[in-house]
Amino acid sequence: MITAGIDVGAKTIKVMLLKDSEPLAKTTILAGLDTRSTLDRAFAEALEAAGGLERKDLDFVLGTGAGRQEVSVADDQVTEVTAAARGAWSVFDTARTVIDVGAEEGRAVRCSDSGRVEDFAVNEKCAAGAGTFTEAMARALEVDLEELGRMSLRSTQAVPMNAQCTVFAESEVVSLLHAKTPKEDISRAVHDAMASRITSMVRKVGLQEDVVVIGGLAKNVGFLDSMKRNLETEILVPEDPEYVGALGAALIAADRLAERR
């Protein structure tokens, strides 16, 4: 039984192929301007990586993510909330709170001991609280995203950041630079601000351990550090955090097939 999960995010498209619920192949590709053609390419690459499969070899394909309606090869769709919970639970079965932060959205999901969604909160309206925020701040600080995260860990003092809005925060970062504030401290302020936005979503659904962070932001060590301090808990991060949504969708595809049989 081969299933696929295709996660169409604002910035990247992730494809995960599973054979009997075990990883077979995965690809990620920048979404680009034309989602449809990028999708075709990502899907073709995944099939190629799986040893030259074709669409007809796949038993069930589920689309997920903000652009899931665009997935023409999919048999059905599943929300990114459901996919995130299922995917995170498959990696850590102790997961009760799943925090998923992508390029343009952030969500906190509380799930049951079987990986089912109990409650969730989403931010998709405001760039502060999504990856776009850290990208804009990295640009203002003239460092790349990875460096932004690492710099944050070297901070020696907490400086407050007043602006919530990404547009205003850009100006504030420039002012802090003018005032000779060390970039390390600004970086920490950026991640603390981001973490406090995400934390307020977590509080809405109710914090329960274990906490798993997934999505592209889970690769940012500065953000993870700020989250730990904000939540006062340990945080689990899967090996490929950006694939967890696609993984969850592919697993749900397998679950559905199993139910039918």
Partner 1 sequence: MAETAVEYWRWKEYNWRDPDLDPREAQVISAGVDVGSVSSQAVVMTDGKLYAFANMRTGSDSPESAQKAIGWALEETGLTLEDLHFVVGTGYGRVNVPFAKKAITEIACHARGANFMYGPSVRTVLDMGGQDCKAIHCDEKGKVKAFLMNDKCAAGTGRGMEVMADLLSVPIEEVGAMSLDVDEEPPPVSSTCVVFAKSEASGLLRQGWPKNRVLAAYCAAMSHRVCALLGRIGVEEKFAITGGIAKNPGIVKRIEKELGVQALKSDMDTQIAGAVGAALFARVLYMKSRKTA
Binding-site ranges for partner 1 (CB under 8 A): 33, 104, 125-127, 132, 136, 164-168, 171, 174-175, 178
93 or 168, CB closer to partner 1? 168
**Min separation Cβ 165 and partner 1, Å:** 5
57 or 124, CB closer to partner 1? 124
Structure tokens at 3: 């299933």
167 or 258, CB closer to partner 1? 167
**Min separation Cβ 31 and partner 1, Å:** 11
**Min separation Cβ 132 and partner 1, Å:** 6
**Min separation Cβ 73 and partner 1, Å:** 24
Of the candidates 118, 136, 117, the one whose C-alpha atom is nearest the C-alpha of residue 126 is 136
**Min separation Cβ 96 and partner 1, Å:** 30
29 or 126, CB closer to partner 1? 126
86 or 197, CB closer to partner 1? 197
**Min separation Cβ 212 and partner 1, Å:** 27
7 or 104, CB closer to partner 1? 104
